[in-house]
Amino acid sequence: MSRTPASTNARVRATVVTALLAPLTLAACTSNGATGAPDAKVKPTVADRPVTVTVTPTGERVPAGAPVRVRATGGRLTSVTVTDAEGHRLTGKVAADGRSWVSARKAAPGAAYTVTAATRTTGSGKAATTKAAFTTAPAEKVNKVDWRPGAGATVGVAQPISLVFDNPVKNRAEVEKQLRITTSNDTEGSWGWITDWSGKDRVDWRPRTYWQPGTKVTLNAALNGTDSGTAGGWFVRDYTTTFTIGAQQIAKVDLDNHQLTLVRDGKTIRTIPVSGGTPGGDRRSWRGTAVLMAKEGTINMNSETVNLGNAYNKMVDHSMRLTWSGMYAHAAPWNARYFGNSNHSSGCIGMSDADAAWFYDQVRPGDPFEITGKDTKGVVAPGNGFGAWNLSWGAWQGKSALR
């Protein structure tokens, strides 16, 4: 008499479907004298039992923001792949004992994930593949980022990496953990959380000292699946930018002596007579280190936009923005009689048409303007343009959420 060996399907929790079935090994039928009974001493071994795979999270529209976890019982995981509907992968690593795997990234909102786990049984080493699927609930609110500098740019030695958020960021430490800076020469730097001039939350990364010319810089902001916190919403994409540091150029502005000197790689290139902000009131210039934010060319300047009444409303050439509050370096031919001898502007650094045209062609965004003068309205604040350089290194590091 003989019996046909029985088989059982692999057991998988959390909506898991086993692709390969691992049969239980039963005793072979043998003759036992006249009775023909099987040998009851031969039993199934643990090594031949199917591997049980558990995947979390599981189900439909589960909360986002948690890593994917895979566990194996009765065998080892040999590989795990987690892929969303667009083909993006959540990478991870199988633990040394082969029993677990955790994704390095969190599950993003509004995504459908497929999990494929390859396993081997203990002892016999039989291979099997298990698949599972789950979806995450969509984000009720999305947070977005505006960042500088743009990809492929060549910028000056004072240019920070700056991210301004549409919505508040309460989970600052969690967000900062997702921001990675890599440089071609291991530049030391730190993130710092500040309030942008617009009132929005902002985080900047600046080096300890000015960048070295020629440095290649990459930002990878792996924010997809990160929760901003109360009233902030979820990030639903990653951000990246790569840029290069140009020559070291510093515009040294001496408001007491009414001159601007361009220094390139330690050598004086040219000194220009200028006129700064009128002393004694709101029309004074800022002092400290301002950073050239943008070369805006010919623009309309209206004093009402900077709370100076109807003092001016005119088109201005060779305009170079230094702060969000409205301080520029630009051509100011109407102020010609003051260049080199007195400060008589509404806060900007004015110069002749010819000097402004030359200077405009020399500088690039990210170049620092080191401004000195006795009668100014204070130091440029960190969020008023790129004023982080006016804080000591220790004070700047203290603004990191991870300190």
**The two three-digit tokens of residue 193, written as one number:** 């959380």
Beta partners for residue 238, in sequence order? none
Contact by Cβ (8 Å): 234, 111:
no
At 13 the pLDDT is 37
b/e 155-183 (16+ beta carbons within 10 angstroms → b): bbbbbbbbbbbbbbbebbebbbebbebeb
Burial of 18 (0-12, 13-18, 19+ CB in 10 A): buried
At 96 the pLDDT is 97
Beta partners for residue 16, in sequence order? 132
Q: What is the DSSP letter of 250?
A: E
- Give the residue among 95, 109, 103 at the shortest CA–CA distance from 236: 109
**The two three-digit tokens of residue 247, written as one number:** 């020559």
At 312 the pLDDT is 67
b/e 103-113 (16+ beta carbons within 10 angstroms → b): bebbbbbebeb
- Give the residue among 12, 8, 53 at the shortest CA–CA distance from 26: 8
pTM to 2 decimals? 0.83
pLDDT in tens, the chain (403 residues): 434 443 333 333 333 333 333 333 323 333 344 444 444 444 445 546 789 999 999 999 999 999 999 999 999 999 999 999 999 999 999 999 999 999 999 999 999 999 999 999 988 889 999 999 999 999 999 999 999 999 999 999 999 999 999 999 999 999 999 999 999 999 999 999 999 999 999 999 999 999 999 999 999 999 999 999 999 999 999 999 999 999 999 999 999 999 999 999 999 999 999 999 999 998 999 999 999 999 999 998 876 676 667 666 789 999 999 999 999 999 999 999 999 999 999 999 999 999 999 999 999 999 999 999 999 999 999 999 999 999 999 999 999 999 8
At 48 the pLDDT is 63
CA 254 to each of CA 69, 131, 241, 375: distance values in angstroms, whole numbers, following the listed order: 61, 69, 35, 11
Domain architecture of the chain: domains with CATH: 16-136 (2.60.40.3780), 145-246+393-397 (2.60.40.3710), 249-372 (2.40.440.10)
